[in-house]
Amino acid sequence: MTARKKAVGRKKTAAKKPTPRKTAKKRPARKAAAPAAKRKKAPRKIYFFGDGRAEGGAEMRETLGGKGANLAEMTRLGVPVPSGFTISTGVCGEYNDAGGQLPADVQRDALAAMAKVERVMGRKFGDVSNPLLVSVRSGARVSMPGMMDTVLNLGLNDETVRGLAAAATERFAYDSYRRFIQMYGDVVLEIPHERFESRLEDLKDDRGVDQDTELSASDWRSLIREYFEIVEDHTGRPFPQDPHEQLWGAVAAVFRSWDTERAIRYRQIEGIPESWGTAVNVQAMVFGNMGDDCATGVAFTRDPSTGDKNFYGEYLKNAQGEDVVAGIRTPQPINKSSRKDDSMELPTLEDEMPRAYRELVRIYKRLEKHYRDMQDIEFTIQAGKLWMLQTRNGKRTAAAAIKIAVDMAKERLISRDEAICRVPPHSLEQLLHPTLDPEAPRDIIATGLPASPGAAVGSIVFSADEAEAAAKKGERVVLVRVETSPDDIHGMHAAEGILTARGGMTSHAAVVARGMGKCCVAGCGALRIDYDAGTMTINGKTYHAGETITLEGSAGVVIKGAVPTITPELGGAFGELMRWADKRRTVKVRTNADTPGDAQVARDFGAEGIGLCRTEHMFFEPNRVLAVREMILADGPTSRQRALDKLLPMQRGDFEGIFEAMDGLPVTVRLLDPPLHEFLPHGDDDLTQVAESLGIGVAALRAKVEEVKEFNPMLGHRGCRLGITFPEIYAMQVRAVVEAACTVAGRGIRVIPEIMLPLISHVGELRRLRALVEDEVQAVLSQHPGAKVKPSIGTMIEVPRAALTADQIAEHADFFSFGTNDLTQTGYALSRDDAGKFLPAYIESGILEDDPFVSVDEDGIGRLMQIGTEAGRSVRPGLKVGICGEHGGDPKSIRFCVALGFDYVSCSPFRVPVARLAAAQAAIELAAQKKGRA
């Protein structure tokens, strides 16, 4: 082996820890369809754009993907866009169905479109003296930043590089060529990126330079020869010199990238259907790296972190697009409002290229007005001329999304209904969780860029896999990387926050973190990472994996140890958007709360009552569980009543606090529901304590515990069955509810108690237990004459039989509340606790679209809900119907409940704003559908 070949494979200690490229699995080809009797005209697969003309537009996002649709739209608007063509999303499916083969008609039509591009740009693809170079990029119908692949400078080879050098400079031409080989080798030939990068780092070390721009044309030629050796060593073939072979290889690689692990993970996280596929955009190259009158940059028409109406972005002179997001060089701000602490002294684009900047401002204002949303734009300046490479609706934080939506409504760019629908409901959770306590001491150890706001406290991990594994164990971690790549997506999703040594405000880490609502500090220049040792060093101090750090994304600081947090105050644009949403929604939003504290939090977030108060949660407190165990294991009614007498004042006190917190709002109290085995003693100490309390021996108690145990407790002696067999238990709970209501009402507080009987499957159960409840209510009220308390009595619909016989059950119920957790378990005949072992495979294979415990299965469980609602209201018009399972906070499930005509949804306290917004969006959407049908 030659010395050079040895150098190709040697490891560079300062280089990024290699991450194996995970490629897509090839799909088997489908059988060819039988020929149709009469052939229809084949749909167009290639769409040209250029010179002010385009064969598509923004309305064709499903066919052209987001990028292709917007390139066509900008072209039609007269915005300067390099000419190109888009291969439709449908071809992605054809490519996969054909086992990874591009259809012949696609290749034919693409070459015809390439000829049009050549005429517009005045250059020829593959021509030796005047070569047209192209980029090949992905473009799904929704933005998936960094998840799929791109190849730039395609068309270069040993001959065309000389033509490019003659037209520009030799250094520029060979710099472009090495970039192309490196990118094509990584994306198409699947050679680990680190093999190329380590050789580049070695070359810079050998020349004693820090920046790529300091290397000469001869340096690039030398590096290219070594790159060729890497390619041949890895593939066994020379680097392809035929531009057409390069083109088809790159197009195929982009289609393959739709099924890479990182893209699949991103789609799962964002709920993007696998069937959509990606388009491919082939576009003439324009160059930001030809000299000092060239630049490339990324900008946002409003601040993506705060939502402020400031044009915001970064650029680099004499660079290509990937240099801005890769963090190899420190980007410069495009204007003064884009300056951050570490860029205060850097010149702006406004200063350095005022003419191009003024045109960029004119174009961004036009694009934002046209699209009526904040835009994320990419641009290149070549020899002083501005070219727009992309526009798309920009990723933004939840706080920014709210402010932008409200501001645009006030600016009359969009309506209030559109503003409500612009904010993803789940994103509100970013605003509802704690931030750092400003009064708490903090030991700031480093400063970077405030790439994504919020706070994160966790243990240091250095790889995405470690972050994911730790999160599955319930551990909170901070992912620390030199820079993130799309392969880190799963770790970024799992981590509390992300810290990177490189990268700017538009780096991969920053953009993805903002989209996910994760705290991120990027471009921390003082950070040095040794992946092999599992350490990071800041200003001479070493920190090891597992040590705790805190990130404050809004300030861009790294803090040693854990800093206390506080719950943020919500107001301003958030409050205004919520007020608009509340006027549009047609269902009430309640909360699931078992303590006065949770009830108050939920009320502060806008809850309009409690839809589920689980009384069993009150029983698990250490000072109560002994009395509960005595009740369960008692020999008969007398001993059981003694235990219940101990529990009565405790339960009454709980309800008093909750009724006070929910003054004037309904409170639905579910009587004891879980199987009794959950309360039983197991350890020797617990058995001894209970035995002493009951006055029996440990052996006798152990035997009683065995008697109570069940083979299938979730379908056993629980819920209303407890009330049937041990009526004194439910009687005690009803007494506690009503006595608490009378006491609190006596203080001038309006109390609206609702008593809910769980796990009813037969009308006979409800008939009998309703009589028990009514008797106990009357007994208490007789002791509190004049008390203005009138509890309503209803039931949960959580087993299929109850839904199917809801007309009978409704005759004895004042309200229905669908318990969709158990309804899903019983309807599917699967355990929620065990389903995690196999449900992911069902979703991955396409058997299920969603986890039925996350979003209501509308076809099955939803059908039971529809039957139950319609049957109940057929005998009791106006029957109040709600949902209190975990689905009550899921936007997709909320939409379904709104469509069924539910009166309320109920969810956990921190999801109340999510539910309020989701309910408003559902009402707006359904009203629009109804209007469209009219």
Residues recognised as catalytic? 508, 884
As a dihedral over the C-alpha atoms of residue 222, residue 224, residue 230, residue 232, rounded to 10 degrees, the angle is -110
Q: Using CA atoms, how far apart are residues 745 and 743, in angstroms rounded to an integer?
A: 6
CA distances from 250 to 29, 132, 257, 287, 540 (A): 21, 16, 10, 20, 44
Q: Which runs of E-coded beta strand occur in 268-384?
A: 278-284, 295-300, 312-317, 332-333, 375-382
Question: Residues 266, 144: contact at Cβ < 8 Å?
Answer: yes
Q: Which runs of E-coded beta strand occur in 192-244?
A: none
Question: Residues 175, 222: contact at Cβ < 8 Å?
Answer: no
| Residue among 906, 900, 671, 901 at smallest CA distance from 776 | 671
Q: Using CA atoms, how far apart are residues 62 and 698, in angstroms rounded to an integer?
A: 69
Q: Are strands 497-500 and 519-522 parallel, antiparallel or unpaired?
A: parallel
Question: Residues 225, 218: contact at Cβ < 8 Å?
Answer: no
Q: How many CB atoms lie within 10 A of CB 683?
A: 8
Residues 6+ apart with CB under 8 A from 896: 856, 858, 862, 865
SS3 552: strand
Q: Which letter does DSSP use for residue 126 in this model?
A: T
| Residue among 154, 151, 224, 161 at smallest CA distance from 188 | 151
Q: How many CB atoms lie within 10 A of CB 272?
A: 18
Q: Which letter does DSSP use for residue 85 in this model?
A: E
Q: Is the dihedral of CA 336, 340, 345, 348 positive or negative?
A: negative
Residues 6+ apart with CB under 8 A from 878: none
Residue 502 burial class via C-beta count within 10 angstroms: exposed 0-12, middle 13-18, buried 19 and up: buried
SS3 276: helix
Q: Using CA atoms, how far apart are residues 513 and 461, in angstroms rounded to an integer?
A: 17
